[in-house]
Amino acid sequence: MSRSTLAWVTLTAVFAVCATAVAKGKTARGHCRWGGLTNAAGHRVRCLTKAEARDLSEESQKDEPTAADEPTAADEPPKKRMPWVELRTTFQKGKTGGATPRLSKNAIVYARCVADNGGLKRASAEVRIQFHVSRSGRARDVSVSKRRSVAPAAARCIAAAIEGAFVGTPKEQPTVGTAVLRLR
């Protein structure tokens, strides 16, 4: 087979794949053109068709409450804002490189814990979480060692979010770490 014939066959195959993807509602790069359905783990199951996307948008517009449907301010509690989270880690013995950035990836989870459990009681707050680092680099035996200006439920929620998180492989064993979260 000559080079030009091989190039022509390859080009035809690429166009066929792109045409099939467009017919299924995908772009040439495999992204869903009109949105997609995901499973509980966040993995895409399938793309929506144009008709499904249109039906969903029409239903969501029907479900939007009007001003007359909204409850009065006295009926619902005030919504708590999500605080800004600053995290740093320290270790009593040994070090685990990159623990702060790894735990900081879940900052939105920590902020949601505080917002869902009463919010901040003052303009700034602090939560200290103590944990043991296992040989596999995971946080174990997580507990709240100190909290200031947050509800106990919020501190427990943050500790639960850190439990089992990968913080890095320790250089020495046993390693005890402390995560200090400053909230504003």
Cβ atoms of residues 128 and 178 within 8 Å = yes
Cβ atoms of residues 133 and 175 within 8 Å = yes
115-166: per-residue pLDDT in tens?
999 889 999 999 999 999 988 889 999 999 999 999 999 999 999 999 999 9
Res 180 pLDDT > 90 = yes
The domain segmentation of the chain, as residue ranges, is 3-63, 85-183
Instruction: Give the model's pLDDT for residue 140.
Output: 94
Name which of 62-76, 79-93, 145-159 the model is least confident about: 62-76
- Torsional sign, CA 125, 130, 133, 138: negative
Strand partners, 38: 44
2-57: per-residue pLDDT in tens?
777 766 666 566 556 555 555 555 554 567 777 777 766 667 778 878 888 787 77
Q: Are strands 44-47 and 175-183 parallel, antiparallel or unpaired?
A: unpaired
Instruction: Give the model's pLDDT for residue 11.
Output: 57
Residue 34's alpha-carbon distances to 37, 53, 57, 142, 166, in angstroms, are 10, 6, 11, 43, 35
Domain boundaries 85-183, corresponding CATH code: 3.30.1150
